[in-house]
Structure 1
Amino acid sequence: MSHEIKYQWRITKYNPDFRDENGHYTRVEDWTSPYDIGKTFNGQAFTFEQYLRVESAYINTILMFIKESKVKSLRVIWLENHKSKVQRKWQFLYEDEFQHIQLEEDMVINLEDVPTICKMILRELIYCQLLVKDQLFIHFGWDYYMYIGTNYQSTVAIDLAINNGLYVESFQSPYYLSQEEIIRVIQWGLIGDNVIAGEEELKKIPLKEYQNILNLSYEHPVTGMFKLNTQHKDFFQRFLSHKMDFSTYEYYLWCND
């Protein structure tokens, strides 16, 4: 990311009064996932209706930040699909409209699809980040954490979040990485085996070259994981001591801090 996003916030349902000196949230009895629906917290059963109220607060907050940022579309990065992992007992979290959303890495999405996509993320059916390069990002973390960055003070969006029971803290997203912070590694394992057999770090490859070989837009920061195929072999082999063998191994490019 070539320019710093001016304002960044952590937006959650968690009251910062319950954080310790290290910023850790200390209230153990609190739900952190839609899959906590039906469990008991502080002597009260956590219901689907209660969940929906909080989910709506998050999504409405996102929409207001987008409106104040004046962007017209968003790009999907770091896409992971978890829909196939949903057990039958949680099928009530899956809505018919979800099947009409077909996302791809680096895809540009219309604003009208943002509520549905964010709902799928919050329900852990997919994972992705949304951004407009150097203008806006929306990041989701574990345990119902959300981070938003824009170049506007976004006072209306912040007030909306607070009025809907959320807490807004000035906070740099842990997912907001400069190119200098990103470590890119080639990992490989035997075909059909989930165990990593080896890895090598890549160095001194310009961002534009990654974008070109992976067929990504100039907006994509090349973070996340990418499965490689034989078309990528000649490019990456130049930077590896390991001799790539796609008949034996599966290869992935992993990019994170």
Structure 2
Amino acid sequence: MPALSIYKYDKSNPNYVDDWTAISDIGDSFYGKVLTLEDYLEVENRYVQTIEKILQLFNVDSLEVRELEKAFSFHSQKKENRLNQKQGHLFQQLDNGLLLTREAISELVRFNLRETVWCRLYSPNLQVHFGYDYYMYVQSMDEEKLEQCKQIIREMNLYYQEFLISPHQMEEEDIAPHTYTWGDGQTNPPGDYHHDLRISKDNPQNRTYTEWSNFDEIENGLAWEEYLAVEQKYLQLVLDFLESFQVNELVINGISLHKIQEIGVPEHYFSPKEIVLFQQLQEYDENVEDWTVEGLIVQKEDFSTLFRLMFKGIFTNWITNGSTTIQFDSSYRLYLSFYAHKKEIQNLIEKHGLYWQERQPPYKEAVGFR
């Protein structure tokens, strides 16, 4: 599908590679001048206005959020002056499948440019993607309108490059929306099926920006006791879930780790057992070769410590064992994929005071998490 990349760099100047590329560059010098917040916002506004004009050109009133990734919590973003309180409300409500109005689209463009989130914005007629180093992409099968986009980009004092396809084009299997629908424990059809449940500490029908969504918020007003109470709910659910499938060890192939110092939370919030296991994971990560198939085995007695590291954002791998998969996201939500009757697992979730949603349509083959 044809696409245009949109960028601020004048590539006729061979020194363009020395230009700023992110909001985090504010305060640094480029071409002998300090990048100020005002300078940054002037450029960001031109990107936003470009998308607003393109939406008008395509007569698109809404775009759908796809493959959403949130970098850190709202409080962390607010602390770095990347989001204000009003933007935080939208940040907390963002979810895959959410249909955005034009006003919200403008804000989400800012979120992506500020590296607060990453996502794709989708409609059948127009897609908006984001890349590294302050690149933005628009993609459409309407080549006539795409040609008219070039004039809009030039008018906004930006530049473009033509692509046969966007480097961030959605795969065909991602075109179908990966949304979750609130469930009421409806009866299973006969037999076992793959199910994909998303578990939240908050009622997914009533999310607001006041709800915390990340471990680092204990440094931003979240009480340690409140965090521990929620962590324990998730932990006991996962342990009961694995027990129901008689899982006594987990094999982890490859590690995706964040160092404790990167989380932005003092080390005393991690137990001695968590620090020891983290060091073992780090040692495995540093010594294992990319092409090896040798996995790290975690025994049942270390499950609790492993999942506490996962909930704190240190360990971010999917954990897969046979027909079950466990994943945790940056909005403090747990994902369980399994092959069995779902009613028993739903009851287990509700027993621990948590909420569940099911990816629709149910009773299909196992799907990857988004």
TM bracket, shorter-chain basis:
0.5 to 0.7
Aligned counterparts, 1:161-176, within 5 A: 161-171=153-163, 172-176=165-169
1:42 aligns with 2:31: yes
8 Å CA contact retained: 1:64, 1:156? no
Shift of the alpha carbon at 1:62? 0.7
2:18 paired residue among 26, 29, 33: 29
Shift of the alpha carbon at 1:68? 1.4
Amino acid at match of 2:3: Q
CA distance in 2, matches of 1:144, 1:192: 35
CA distance in 2, matches of 1:179, 1:140: 18
CA separation of 1:180/1:119 partners in 2, compared to 1, >3 Å: closer, same or farther?
closer
CA separation of 1:78/1:188 partners in 2, compared to 1, >3 Å: closer, same or farther?
farther
1:143 paired residue among 133, 139, 153: 133
Q: Which residue does the alignment assign to 2:190?
A: none
Aligned counterparts, 1:104-119, within 5 A: 104-119=95-110
CA distance in 2, matches of 1:66, 1:78: 21
CA separation of 1:169/1:188 partners in 2, compared to 1, >3 Å: closer, same or farther?
farther
Q: Which residue does the alignment assign to 1:72?
A: 61
Q: Which residue does the alignment assign to 1:122?
A: 113
Segments ≥4 residues shifted beyond 6 Å: 197-200
Q: Give CA deviations for 1:33-64 in whole Å, capped at 9, x if unaligned.
A: 01111100111111111111111111111111
Q: Which residue does the alignment assign to 2:150?
A: 158
Q: SS state of the match for residue 49, structure 1?
A: helix
CA separation of 1:114/1:87 partners in 2, compared to 1, >3 Å: closer, same or farther?
closer
1:8 aligns with 2:115: no
Shift of the alpha carbon at 1:71? 2.1
Q: Give CA deviations for 1:193-235 in whole Å, capped at 9, x if unaligned.
A: 41648769xxxxxxxxxxxxxxxxxxxxxxxxx9631xx3017
Scaled by the length of structure 1, the TM-score of the pair is 0.65
Amino acid at match of 2:51: I
Which deviates the most, 189-198 or 165-174?
189-198
1:60 paired residue among 31, 49, 55: 49
Identity of aligned residues (%): 27
CA separation of 1:178/1:87 partners in 2, compared to 1, >3 Å: closer, same or farther?
closer
Q: Which structure has more strand as a fraction of its residues?
A: 1
Amino acid at match of 2:110: K
CA separation of 1:106/1:50 partners in 2, compared to 1, >3 Å: closer, same or farther?
same
Q: SS state of the match for residue 100, structure 1?
A: helix
CA separation of 1:253/1:188 partners in 2, compared to 1, >3 Å: closer, same or farther?
farther
Shift of the alpha carbon at 1:96? 2.9
Shift of the alpha carbon at 1:73? 1.4
Shift of the alpha carbon at 1:139? 0.4
CA separation of 1:69/1:188 partners in 2, compared to 1, >3 Å: closer, same or farther?
farther
Shift of the alpha carbon at 1:169? 1.1
Shift of the alpha carbon at 1:156? 4.5
Larger radius of gyration: 2
2:338 paired residue among 223, 233, 240: 233
8 Å CA contact retained: 2:54, 2:152? no
Shift of the alpha carbon at 1:130? 0.4
8 Å CA contact retained: 2:128, 2:136? yes
Scaled by the length of structure 2, the TM-score of the pair is 0.47
CA distance in 2, matches of 1:127, 1:188: 30
8 Å CA contact retained: 1:228, 1:253? no
CA distance in 2, matches of 1:48, 1:196: 36
Q: Which structure has more helix as a fraction of its residues?
A: 2
8 Å CA contact retained: 1:227, 1:253? no
